[in-house]
């Protein structure tokens, strides 16, 4: 072994350096400069005469091995405890172990001290040996100046006075008083085996050490003579002293950073580092001391730069506090702040490596410095919320105290960093006067950033990789060898635009680099990314033709640009997964680095066919434009850097594409060579020119700073909508003509801001307008509607205009029109709101301010001149013949219809039996050309608004599901699963979109006896006939195979058919049968022929390929998650056929987790699917139902859909069905929740994610009955008897509470209400013993049952509202003779009362007025028992008058605090305080009460169904009410 000399020089003062420094070599001098910060000076240098020139130094020579440092030995302090201790302490193991006697009976008197006073830098360390769970609190440790020899030991360490510092929990106490909160680790959380130490350093500072880690300074100004104190308090019952010595010079760390910790054994490596540090020091520094900060960065002493123990609430530290990770990264995006364990030194690099990212959120890591001490800081959710002493880099900007100070700090954006990238900061010594003296490093693991690790700056491999990444980002070709010319297929044309040979795994390049294809397109749908062989020039168009497509997959070609060089890019499966330097057009949206930045942009690429072309160009101004079939789609992005490569992703259906740079020799399409080359449109983008649209009303190209115009000028949006709320004014491209409507539709809103869209007109030309922040800032020639206020030149002219723009939602339409008289009219959803202002000059421009919540609007097709030439005519039944002019066989209605409809008279009559909607009916057969389908109105109910809707639809009624009764929309205007043309009022709509206004006579004016007909003419137009008069063409381009469709909506309750089919062959004409047993003609024709095989349902099982935590059983019908809370994805092995209901039952829930299962469908084969941790990570062809929202490819497309799946209890049956029109339906306990998503591809596979609470599900193979709502009778409406009809209304409620079962057996709200009911101590005899009659009306429970908001009860029927938000506890009904037979004819009402009145009301079994319900009221009502009504005794005093009792058909009125006062209570389970209200659900005899207006003087409507003039019911009649249920609401 090689022998070297190590000189260990001990100096009492640093001035002794002058004696040894001149004689050392340059290398040795440098080493002195490195280590002068310690008491030991190490010279690893072979020196021939070490003693000769050092007369005043004491030197000793030792033999040692390379790399091992020896220091002068000093006497160790005894690691023992003092013999005197607390009265319950027993010492053993040579006074090294202390145990508290009677640990279960006593929690204190466990004080022990060190045998000797502590020496500076010595850490007195004990190990926790035993703990018990009987007590709270645990070990306490500290120091005291009191000598244990004469100490009277208190019961606990916090009782020590006279100079004592104790760490208790996470607080520091001096002489029993707290001096520091939230310090270091919480000692109460330590377990058996953990080590705790206490130290006084040479500066008189107190430090706590936990498991070898310094928690920082706890106190300062300590005296020199101190004893260590340990208190075996509470849970801690035994400790052992393990050491009492200074901390080690070098901390051992994990293997992954070995090169950071190992001290080199070769002097050359140390010298190299030291020399490089010295060379980088500022000129003029003596001895290299100025470079000390950088040089010592390589040292890993106990002062190494780590993350502080105290951090954000979701942060988990590991790797000796070098690694920080945010917990629950898919559920939470903030609360991830971490800080360094000490302040940063001058010229010290604080550098971190990004270890993990998630792609669910926007935004990413933020880094900076702060003056706040982490020990004292109350960590915010995100560091940019801190308003003092903080500088952060966020994105590519700098924020100081939460406010932006530099928008473009550098070319990099932190949001574009990838896993493995590094980022660092340094506080420069020469700029120290510009920053505070003490700053800590800060990292905010925000959004996508999940996990980071501190990288010490002497790690050369990490530094080299970082530098290479920076060079690549700045210039993709810097530092790399240029590709050989052999890669270019045509050396004579070196600049020709071709595909690069480096392409996706499943892609191939042919035709000398001009064509890219996926050879096995029917087997795989991705890994088809191809890039251009060189960067695009400015204004150079890259255009490809789609040569070949397959129809197996969803999605299609995607195109864009990227800054990544294809020669060095590791190509992803799909280009939208790339998180840096990439812009892609996908579908009809634009994505930047995997995040959607534009919705509804241009033509949908998923609808292109073979032969269509797509292109992209980056213009000189840095804007990016796309082309579809030669038509420019408008700017898609800005500030795109130069030198970008074109990208094509042959995804999904796209199988082959060819670059179009030379039309002459463009190869023919595959399988279509006879056609020759495809002719390009005149607007080919080779010249970057576009086609002009037919309608010239657009948004002008000049607009506000934050506005973006897309879709050929038809769409306007506000970019950065969550960080900017104004500067988004847009204006029409020309003046509006008199009578011309400028109408827009709101397409996107955010809930971040207050205020919303503002709209109006201005005389100012766009070229002359200096766009302000908001349009109401203009003080001349401008008229605006803002909220409900009409403003002229920035001043309010009038308030409370007919509409409120702030209340509009997505899908609402706003129109503006200047009449010839100079009046300005606004239109909301096609309805004129009246004159807003008068005297407007001609030649005005429409102006829209995308303000606040409003983000995106588009010009509608209704914009243009209003056609008012068609006026309504006064048509009566006597004007035209009653009978239909068409002879033949009578029409019939189809057996599939809305759930509130009953068919009578052999399918010739339709009756709506409940509500005002769900009344859709169809013709039994498709209409032939020029065939009229006509009905007569038989009954109307004027209490409803709206009227009959009529039209044509391509929806096939036989394809509708038969279970449940209907999956139809509530009204015909919402029927959009297939193309539907409908006339509603005087508006013609196609799939809900307005096509025409003021068509013919308004259907809202029709009454009993009027006839309405519809026909499809030979010219493909739809005509409406009213009382036999043809109103003319209502719609054009109507499909051939259509059914007549009617909606018994609003006031129209019943219709009957009066038309017949066209006369056919005599053999086919059948007289209509009146026998109820015979089938209608339509039903006979819809029966399958004998040779047609019967439809056999597909047997569904789970696929063997699933998430790693899934275990299948029961022949793959049952799936269980066996560990953790995620990795529980499941798909079925079989595709889901159309019209087949797939159902699973929730078998087991684990309340330890939050959230629950999600389910949906996936549009591609799952056989080789690589399952992520959760379903929300799936990005391609996935439709997912999660909580109460619908997601498509991880983007939310619908909210408030159905019940919240997180609240579904065990036993809930969830189902999925894709109907014949490709619409996805969710079924809950057999009840259809309506259309969740459209355009579901075929085949598709059911997908289930056993997440969070949901641990096991089983596929349901048998039929599950439908769970009813408020009604208990579930008979088919066709089976109803005449006795069941009360004035045309179905009556199905008997006098006893309906047998409704609350499907949400684990409803927390119902449990909370039950606990409050128990606190009332009401006798159980008052309540129904059967708990199934107790109903919770919280949002989740009533949606799970499918309850409607309003029902009818009684004779005559009367509406009442369900008590949403309350919980009902059924009462034990004690009937008397009159009630037993007549109860089902009574009405339902509600009564609010106080908690103090409950017992008195229940005792009397009748409601009491507010005056008589007090417990101090006199003369109680005489009763013989609960609910008894006996005759008065002889000579008894006459009974006093029954006081008036307030009732209401809705709890929105009876539940007001004036009727039902709130009381506060503490939940015995959670110990949280809540407020509660109580009331009663009662049955009230018709005629026993008087209906009147509200007595509170409230003008605002309380319930949309009930007028304030009829919301208060008053009764004085004894026995006129019957208590039905106790209602409780808890806030």
For the purposes of burial, counting CB atoms within 10 Å of the CB of 1516, is it exposed (0-12), middle (13-18) or buried (19 or more)? middle
CA-wise closest residue to 28 among 37, 36, 282: 36
Q: Where are the beta strands (DSSP E) in 980-1098?
A: 980-984, 987-990, 993-996, 1011-1016, 1022-1026, 1029-1035, 1043-1047, 1052-1057
Q: Which residues share a beta bridge with 390?
A: 370
1377-1408 burial: b if 16+ Cβ within 10 Å, else e: eebeeebbbbbbbbbbbbbebbebbbebbbbb
Instruction: Name residue, tokens 């299962």.
Output: 1157
Instruction: Name residue, tokens 């709206």.
Output: 946
Do 344 and 439 touch, CB atoms closer than 8 A?
yes
DSSP 8-state code for residue 154: -
Q: Is the dihedral of CA 980, 984, 986, 991 positive or negative?
A: negative
CA terminus-to-terminus distance, the chain: 79
Tokens at 668, concatenated: 């023919």
pLDDT at residue 452, as a whole number: 93
Q: Is the dihedral of CA 753, 755, 761, 762 positive or negative?
A: negative
**How open is the CA angle 433-439-440, to the nearest 5 degrees?**
155
CA-wise closest residue to 1001 among 886, 823, 870: 870
Do 580 and 685 touch, CB atoms closer than 8 A?
no
Instruction: Name residue, tokens 């023992």.
Output: 80
pLDDT tens readout for residues 1075-1127: 333 333 333 333 334 344 445 678 899 998 899 899 999 888 999 999 989 99
- Rounded to 10°, the helix 267-279/26-35 angle is 80
Do 737 and 724 touch, CB atoms closer than 8 A?
no
pLDDT at residue 494, as a whole number: 53
How many residues are present in the chain?
A: 1531
Which helix H or strand E contains 270, and what residues bound it?
helix 267-279
Contacts of 445 (CB under 8 A, 6+ apart): 312, 315, 324, 325, 326, 336, 337, 338, 365, 451, 452
C-alpha 430, offset from chain centre:
47
Q: Model pTM?
A: 0.32
Backbone angles phi, psi at 1513, to 5 degrees: -105, 130
pLDDT at residue 347, as a whole number: 83
pLDDT at residue 299, as a whole number: 35
CA-wise closest residue to 585 among 571, 568, 599, 572: 599
- CA distances to 428, 596, 803, 810, 1196 from 807, rounded to whole Å, are 54, 27, 9, 10, 22
Instruction: Determine the 3-state secondary structure of 532 from DSSP.
Output: strand
Q: Where are the beta strands (DSSP E) in 396-473?
A: 397-400, 403-406, 422-426, 440-444, 449-454
Q: What is the largest CA-CA distance in the chain?
A: 136
Contacts of 817 (CB under 8 A, 6+ apart): 736, 739, 740, 741, 742, 824, 825, 827, 866
Tokens at 498, concatenated: 């071709």
Alpha carbon distance 1104, 811 (integer Å) = 43
DSSP 8-state code for residue 702: -
**How open is the CA angle 103-104-108, to the nearest 5 degrees?**
50
Weakly modelled stretches of the chain, pLDDT under 70: 1-77, 249-302, 411, 431-434, 457-494, 662-695, 861-862, 864-890, 962-967, 1061-1096, 1262-1306, 1374-1384, 1409-1443
Q: Where are the beta strands (DSSP E) in 118-203?
A: 123-131, 140-144, 164-168, 171-174, 177-180, 195-200
Which helix H or strand E contains 17, and what residues bound it?
helix 17-20
pLDDT at residue 847, as a whole number: 95
For β-strands 758-762 and 171-174, DSSP reports them as: unpaired
526-565 burial: b if 16+ Cβ within 10 Å, else e: bbbbbbbbbbbeeebbbbbbbbbbeebbbbbbbbbbbbbb
- CA distances to 412, 485, 561, 626, 638 from 538, rounded to whole Å, are 22, 24, 12, 14, 14
Do 195 and 125 touch, CB atoms closer than 8 A?
yes
């Amino acid at each position: 072994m090689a022998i070297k000399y190590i000189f260990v020089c001990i100096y009492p003062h640093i001035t002794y350096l002058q004696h040894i420094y001149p004689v050392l070599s340059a290398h040795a001098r440098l080493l002195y400069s490195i280590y002068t910060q310690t008491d030991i000076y190490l010279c690893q240098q072979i020196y021939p005469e070490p003693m000769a020139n050092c007369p005043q130094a004491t030197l000793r020579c030792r033999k040692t091995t390379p790399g091992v440092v020896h220091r002068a030995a000093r006497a160790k302090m005894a690691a023992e405890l003092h013999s005197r201790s607390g009265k319950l302490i027993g010492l053993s193991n040579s006074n090294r172990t202390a145990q508290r006697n009677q640990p279960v009976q006593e929690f204190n008197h466990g004080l022990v001290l060190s045998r000797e006073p502590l020496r500076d830098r010595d850490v007195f360390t004990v190990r926790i040996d035993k703990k018990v769970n009987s007590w709270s609190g645990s070990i306490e440790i500290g120091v005291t100046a009191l000598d244990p020899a004469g100490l009277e030991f208190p019961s606990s360490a916090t009782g020590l006075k006279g100079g004592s510092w104790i760490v208790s929990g996470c607080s520091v106490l001096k002489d029993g008083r707290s001096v520091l909160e939230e310090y270091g680790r919480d000692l109460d959380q330590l377990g058996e085996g953990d080590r705790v130490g206490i130290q006084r350093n040479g500066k008189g500072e107190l430090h706590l050490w936990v498991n070898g880690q310094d928690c920082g300074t706890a106190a300062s100004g300590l005296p020199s003579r101190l004893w260590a104190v340990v208190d075996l308090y509470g849970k801690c019952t035994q400790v052992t002293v393990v050491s009492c010595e200074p901390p080690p010079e070098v901390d051992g760390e994990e293997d992954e950073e070995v090169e950071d910790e190992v001290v080199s054994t070769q002097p050359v490596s140390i010298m190299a580092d030291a020399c490089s540090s010295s060379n980088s020091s500022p000129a003029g520094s003596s001895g290299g001391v100025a470079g000390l900060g950088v040089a010592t960065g390589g040292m890993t002493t106990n002062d190494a730069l780590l993350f502080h123990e105290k951090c954000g609430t979701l942060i988990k530290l590991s790797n000796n506090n070098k690694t920080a990770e945010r917990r629950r990264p898919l559920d939470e995006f903030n609360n991830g702040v971490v800080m360094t364990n000490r302040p940063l030194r001058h010229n010290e690099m604080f550098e971190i490596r990004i270890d993990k990212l998630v792609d669910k959120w926007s935004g990413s890591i933020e880094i900076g410095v702060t003056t706040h001490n982490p020990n004292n800081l109350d960590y915010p959710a995100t560091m940019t919320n801190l308003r003092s002493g903080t500088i952060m880099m966020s994105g590519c900007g700098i924020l100081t105290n939460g406010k932006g100070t530099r928008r473009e700090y550098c070319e990099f954006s932190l949001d574009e960093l990838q896993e493995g990238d590094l980022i660092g900061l340094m506080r420069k010594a020469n700029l120290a006067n510009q920053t505070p003296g003490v700053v800590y490093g800060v990292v905010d693991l925000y959004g996508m950033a999940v996990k980071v690790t501190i990288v010490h700056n002497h790690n050369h491999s990490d530094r080299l990789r970082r530098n290479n990444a920076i060079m690549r980002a700045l210039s993709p070709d810097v530092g790399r060898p240029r590709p050989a010319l052999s890669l270019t297929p045509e050396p004579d044309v070196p600049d020709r635009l071709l595909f690069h040979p480096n392409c996706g795994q499943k892609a191939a390049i042919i035709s000398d680099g001009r064509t890219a294809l996926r050879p096995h397109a029917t087997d795989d749908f991705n890994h088809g990314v191809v890039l251009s062989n060189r960067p695009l020039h400015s204004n150079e168009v890259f255009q490809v033709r789609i040569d070949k497509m397959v129809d197996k997959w969803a999605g299609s070609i995607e195109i864009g640009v990227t800054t990544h060089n294809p020669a060095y890019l590791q190509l992803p499966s799909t280009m939208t997964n790339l998180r840096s330097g990439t812009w892609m057009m996908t579908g009809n949206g634009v994505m930047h680095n995997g995040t959607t930045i534009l919705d509804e942009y241009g033509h949908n690429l998923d609808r292109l066919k073979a032969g269509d072309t797509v292109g992209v160009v980056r213009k000189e101004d840095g804007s990016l434009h796309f082309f579809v079939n030669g038509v420019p789609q408008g700017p898609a992005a800005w500030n795109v850097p130069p030198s970008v490569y074109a990208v094509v992703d042959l995804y999904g259906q796209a199988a082959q594409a060819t670059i179009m740079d030379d039309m002459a020799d463009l190869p023919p399409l595959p399988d279509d060579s006879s056609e020759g080359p495809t002719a390009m449109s005149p607007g080919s983008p080779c010249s970057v020119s576009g086609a002009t649209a037919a309608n010239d009303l657009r948004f002008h190209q000049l607009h506000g700073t934050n506005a973006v115009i897309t879709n050929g000028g038809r769409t306007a949006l506000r970019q950065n909508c969550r960080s900017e709320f104004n500067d988004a004014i847009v204006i029409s491209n020309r003046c509006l003509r008199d009578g011309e409507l400028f109408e827009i539709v709101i397409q996107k809103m955010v809930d971040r801001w207050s205020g919303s869209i503002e709209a109006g007109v201005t005389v100012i030309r766009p070229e002359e307008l200096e766009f302000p922040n908001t349009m109401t800032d203009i003080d001349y020639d401008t008229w605006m509607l803002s909220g409900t206020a009409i403003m002229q030149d920035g001043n309010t002219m009038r308030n409370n205009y007919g509409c409120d723009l702030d209340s509009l939602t997505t899908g609402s339409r706003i129109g503006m029109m200047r009449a010839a008289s100079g009046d300005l009219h606004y239109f909301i959803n096609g309805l004129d709101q009246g004159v807003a202002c008068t005297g407007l000059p001609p030649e005005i421009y429409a102006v829209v301010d995308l303000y606040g919540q409003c983000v995106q609007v588009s010009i509608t097709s209704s914009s243009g001149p209003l056609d008012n030439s068609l006026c309504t005519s006064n048509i009566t039944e006597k004007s035209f013949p009653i009978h239909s002019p068409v002879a033949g066989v009578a029409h019939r209605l189809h057996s599939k219809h809305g759930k509130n409809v009953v068919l009578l008279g052999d399918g010739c009559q339709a009756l709506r039996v409940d509500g005002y909607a769900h009344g859709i009916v169809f013709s039994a057969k498709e209409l032939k050309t020029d065939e009229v389908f006509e009905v007569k109105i038989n009954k109307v109910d004027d209490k409803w608004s709206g009227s009959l809707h009529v039209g044509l639809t391509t929806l096939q009624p036989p394809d509708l599901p038969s279970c449940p009764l209907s999956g139809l929309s509530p009204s015909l205007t919402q029927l959009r699963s297939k193309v539907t043309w409908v006339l509603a009022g005087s508006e013609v709509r196609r799939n809900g979109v307005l096509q025409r206004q003021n068509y013919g006579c308004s259907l809202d004016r029709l009454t009993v006896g009027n006839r309405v007909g519809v026909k499809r003419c030979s010219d493909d137009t739809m005509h409406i006939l009213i009382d036999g008069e043809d109103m003319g063409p209502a719609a054009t381009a109507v499909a051939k195979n259509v059914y007549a469709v009617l909606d018994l909506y609003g006031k129209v309750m019943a219709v009957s058919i009066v038309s017949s089919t066209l006369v056919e062959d005599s053999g086919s004409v059948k007289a209509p049968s009146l026998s109820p047993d015979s089938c209608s003609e339509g039903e006979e024709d819809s029966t399958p022929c004998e040779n047609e095989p019967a439809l056999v349902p597909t047997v569904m099982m789970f696929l063997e390929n699933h998430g790693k935590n899934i275990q299948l059983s029961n022949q793959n019908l049952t799936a269980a998650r066996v560990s953790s809370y995620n990795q529980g994805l499941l798909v079925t092995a079989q595709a889901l056929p159309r019209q087949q209901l797939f159902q699973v039952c929730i078998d087991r829930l684990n309340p330890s987790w939050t959230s629950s299962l999600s389910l949906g469908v996936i549009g591609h084969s799952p056989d080789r699917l690589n399952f992520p941790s959760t379903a929300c990570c799936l990005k391609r062809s996935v439709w997912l139902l999660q909580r109460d929202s619908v997601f498509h490819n991880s983007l939310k497309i619908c909210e408030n859909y159905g019940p919240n799946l997180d609240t579904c209890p065990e036993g809930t049956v969830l189902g999925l069905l894709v109907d014949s029109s490709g619409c996805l339906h969710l079924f809950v306990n057999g009840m259809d929740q309506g259309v969740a998503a459209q355009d579901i591809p075929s085949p598709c596979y059911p997908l289930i994610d056993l997440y969070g609470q949901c641990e096991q599900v089983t596929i349901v193979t048998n039929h599950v009955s439908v769970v009813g709502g408020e009604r208990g009778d579930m008979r088919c409406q066709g089976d109803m008897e005449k006795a069941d009809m009360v004035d045309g209304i179905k009556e199905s409620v008997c006098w006893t509470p309906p047998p409704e079962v609350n499907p949400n057996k684990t409803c927390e709200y119902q449990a909370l209400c039950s606990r409050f009911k128990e606190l009332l101590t009401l006798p159980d005899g008052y309540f129904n013993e059967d708990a199934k009659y107790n109903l919770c009306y919280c949002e989740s429970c009533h949606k799970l049952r499918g309850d409607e908001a309003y029902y009818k009860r009684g004779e005559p029927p009367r509406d009442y509202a369900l008590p949403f938000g309350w919980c009902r506890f059924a009462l034990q009904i004690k009937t008397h003779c009159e009630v037993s037979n007549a109860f089902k004819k009574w009405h339902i009402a509600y009564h609010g009362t106080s908690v103090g009145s409950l017992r008195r009301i229940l005792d009397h079994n009748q409601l009491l007025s507010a005056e008589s319900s007090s417990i101090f009221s006199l003369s109680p009502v005489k009763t013989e028992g609960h609910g008894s009504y006996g005759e008065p005794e002889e000579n008894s005093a006459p009974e006093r008058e029954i006081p008036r009792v307030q009732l209401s058909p809705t709890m929105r009125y009876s539940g007001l605090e004036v009727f039902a006062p709130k009381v506060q209570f503490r939940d015995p389970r959670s110990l949280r305080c809540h407020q509660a209200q109580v009331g009663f659900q009662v049955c009230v005899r018709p005629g026993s009460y008087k209906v009147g207006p509200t007595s509170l003087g409230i003008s605002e409507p309380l319930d949309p169904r009930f007028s304030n003039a009829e919301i208060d019911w008053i009764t004085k009649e004894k026995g006129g009410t019957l208590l039905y249920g106790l209602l409780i609401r808890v806030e």
